[in-house]
Every structure is written in C-alpha cells, then in structure tokens.
Amino acid sequence: MEHADVIVIGGGAAGLFCALTAGQRGRRVVVIEHANKVGKKILMSGGGRCNFTNTGTSPDNYLSANPHFCKSALARYTPWHFIEMVERHGIAYHEKELGQLFCDESSKLIVRMLLDECEAAGVRIEIQCSVDRVVASDDGGFAVHTTRGSFAVPSVVVASGGLSIPSMGASGFGYELARQFGHTVLPTRAGLVPLTLSGKHQERLADLSGVALPVTATANGQSFSNFMLVTHRGVSGPSILQISSYWQPGDELGIDLLPDQDALDALLRWQRERPSAELKTVLGDAIPKRFAQRLCEVYLPQVQPGKPMKQYTPAQLRAIADVLQAWPLVASGTEGYRTAEVTLGGVDTDEVSSSTMQSRRVPGLYFVGEVLDVTGWLGGYNFQWAWASGYAAGNAV
Ligand code: FDA
C-alpha cells in the first residue's frame, strides 16, 4: 500500500485543477485517469480552441437544484484568476462573443498549461489506470485500489465528470461512488444537446438541413437568442443547445423567428411597402428564403399561392404574426449523451460543502466539476465551474 495525501479520480478540467492547487500547497497528489490521456474534453472543446471561461460568469448562468451552491466557489476563483494563469503561460486568446474567451491557437495549450502546473507542483498522474474499489479505512481515511496498486489516503476527490460523450471516457463511476458512500444522486439527463424531431415534424424540415437563422428559443420561462440550425435529425445551434437544458419531452418550446422586431409591425410595414409581393417573398428577405417558403407552405394556412400582401386581413396578419413570434417546435427528444456537451443533475449539492466541496456525510471525500449537480450554460461557464470547484477542493484537501 502506497501512501499519498490526495487521490483525484479523473484527469479532466476539474481534477487537474484541483490536483495542481493541492500540489502547490505541498500535498502529495496522485491523479487516476482511466483514458489514454488527460483532458480529452478540453482538447475537443470550443471546436479545438477551448472556450476556457466567460468574463460575465455569474451564478445565474448555472442550473442546479440548489442555485446558491455555486456562489461561494465562483466568487473565490473568478474568470480573471484563470485569465491570469493563461497569460502567465503566454497563451494568446480572444473574445468571441458575450464574454466567451477562446485560445487563438489550440485547446492543446490549455492542457499543456495544466500539465506544466501539475508537474511544477509535483503532482503524479497515472493514465490508463482504473479504480477498482474505494474503501473507507478504520482510521478515517480511504484505501483506493487501482489497476496500478493500492493507495492509502486521507482525501479522495471525485472528478470523474458526467455521462456526456462516452467515447471520450465519460462514465457513471462518480455517481456510483457517491451512492456507495450514502450520497443522493439527482436524476441525470443530457444538456446542451441538439433536439430531435420525429414523424411529420421531422419530414417538414429534413430537406432544410444546414439552414441557419437567428431566433429566440423559449421554454419553461427561459429564453436564449442566438442561431438555430436545422439538422438531418432535428434542430441544433447555440440557441437550441442552450434551451435544451431547460426543456424536457412534452414541454412547450416556442421559437421567435423575428427576434429583433415585432412580427405584426413588420407584416403591416411589408403590406404598406410591398402590397403586390407575396408573403414568402417579403419574409424571404428577413429569414432564409427556403425556411420562409416552408413556413408559408406548411405552417401558415392563411397563405395561398399567388396571394399578394395587400389581400391579407388584419386578423390574418395577426394570426401569421403569432406563428412567426412563437413558432411551435414539436421536438420528440434530444440526441442524448452521445452528442451532449454536459450532464444535468448529479451528486446532490445539499450534501456537499459549498466552500470546500467536501462531503457532509463522509469527511475526506470531495466532489468537483460536472459530477455535481451544477451545470453551466453554453459559453465557457462549465470550464469556469470546473476550475472554481477544483480550486475550492484543492485548497481544502
Ligand atoms: P471531465 O469530463 O472533463 O473529466 C472527467 C475525467 O474523468 C475524464 O478525463 C474521464 O476520462 C475521467 N474518468 C471518468 N471515469 C473515470 C474512472 N472511473 N476512473 C478514472 N477516470 C475516470 N465547456 C466549456 O466551458 N467550454 C467549452 O468550450 C466546452 N466545449 C465542450 C465541447 C464538447 C464536445 C463537450 C463534450 C463538452 C464541452 N464543454 C465545454 C463542457 C466541459 O468539457 C465539461 O463541463 C468539463 O470538461 C467538466 O469537467 P470535469 O473535470 O468535471 O469532467
């Protein structure tokens, strides 16, 4: 049995950050990663450029059964702290939109930075190493049995992430371990994920695959304005990924197709200015032509071929405006964990300290990152949670 101070299970964003923080405090840290390299999700994130934080991060950007839980850690490790580290390592970055910071060059530089920090802090990393069992010892610590031998430690940090992208090493291990130690795991589901359509709803849009337009998507009182992309199986794009975290099958989903204007005002203006044009023509100047045409053919019974704008009654224009402002998208489900960026739900935060990430049930057991029931919006918020929760635990172990 080898002795160490901390075993971190999972060499992803939160695990590496926790490890380097604890290592800097002189703790002997071993990271156990079952995949063939660490930080695989960091590498694939942000289209290969890693959207590593968001300068506008606030607790409002996270979903959790306890919305207050993330506040303390986010306040103590802010985007500016992470930016300071990125700059110290000479990594060039840029702001894309809405405070989202991306590497100019490659996500590899973020993984390199974390590994360099781990190395400087004396952190040992074991890849292609699996945890067989974690057993509470009589002296209050843990025995962690792995495929590379057994470790006796006072602290175990569960940083094994969520269920999204199983091909990248995602596993339900963290949830099982939490249950083993008496923790509640709140139901999990895919978040930041494309929505699927079925039957006639899919047939109506399938041949428009590739068409993108700015929209405001609304479900359960939450709205996101950004692009929507029609796919072979349904809809995607940032507005849809964002709203997918707030939507479940059976919930209503409304899409405002003219997000920057009042639809009725626009229709009345078009009627005045272009009385002889057809609706599909004037609408096709505001949104992609093929999408406008499909709307007129399928979703707007008031429209007849050849009917000029001047022939629409005020009541008909109002009915058309209602559809344009809240186009009812009937999604059948999501693409699931295969393509989801995150997992909603997870280890119940009510049983974890918000300042240290330590279990309230089992002293010495910690949970960080996505395995916890804290899920960020699209835009760098999930990595900021990984850094902040890893930092909180790294300072406590
Ligand atoms: P993470 O999943 O990063 O790490 C968990 C680690 O544990 C993995 O290395 C895994 O192999 C390992 N593991 C699992 N089970 C194990 C076991 N039994 N034993 C040992 N190791 C085990 N977020 C963001 O803010 N900006 C972005 O640009 C993106 N982009 C993005 C793109 C794509 C395609 C995805 C899938 C996700 C994103 N995200 C993102 C989300 C972000 O990647 C995610 O929230 C964080 O990586 C979560 O960090 P964790 O360390 O908690 O888990």
Sheet containing 29-32: give its strands across. 124-126, 29-32, 6-9, 155-158, 365-367
- Nearest ligand 1 atom, CA 371: 52
Chain centre to alpha carbon of residue 330? 22
Q: What is the pLDDT of residue 170?
A: 85
DSSP alpha helix (H) spans, the chain: 13-24, 40-44, 71-76, 79-88, 108-120, 173-180, 199-206, 238-244, 263-273, 279-283, 289-294, 314-325, 381-394
Q: Is the dihedral of CA 388, 393, 394, 396 positive or negative?
A: positive
Best of 62, 373, 382, 391 for a ligand 1 pocket test (most atoms within 8 Å of beta carbon): 382
DSSP alpha helix (H) spans, 131-262: 173-180, 199-206, 238-244
- Full-prediction pTM beyond 0.95? yes
Q: Is the dihedral of CA 379, 381, 382, 384 positive or negative?
A: positive
> Could you tell me which residues are beta bridge partners of residue 327?
255
Instruction: Assign 136 to helix, strand or coil.
Output: strand
Q: Which stretches of the chain score pLDDT less than 50?
A: none
**Alpha-carbon gap, residue 48 to 16, rounded angstroms:** 19
- Nearest ligand 1 atom, CA 383: 25
- Nearest ligand 1 atom, CA 173: 18
Question: Which DSSP category does 299 fall into?
Answer: I
Q: What is the pLDDT of residue 166?
A: 84
| Ligand 1 center to 300 CA (angstroms) | 43
State which amino acid sits at residue 26: G
Among protein residues, the one whose CA lies closest to atom 3 of ligand 1: 12
At 262-283, the pLDDT tens digits run: 999 999 999 999 999 999 999 9
| Ligand 1 center to 13 CA (angstroms) | 6
| Ligand 1 center to 41 CA (angstroms) | 5
Q: What is the pLDDT of residue 98?
A: 84
Residues with CB under 6 A from ligand 1: 9-15, 32-35, 40-41, 44-46, 50-51, 130-131, 159-161, 164-165, 169-171, 173, 341-342, 369-370, 380-383, 386
Residue (of 62, 38, 44) closest to 389 by Cα position? 62
- Rounded to the nearest integer, the mean pLDDT of the chain is 96
- Nearest ligand 1 atom, CA 381: 25
How far CA 228 is from CA of 241, 290, 294, in Å, comes to: 9, 14, 16
Q: To 10 degrees, what angle do helices 79-88 and 381-394 make?
A: 90
At 69-111, the pLDDT tens digits run: 999 999 999 999 999 999 999 999 999 988 999 999 999 999 9
Asked if ipTM goes beyond 0.95, one says yes
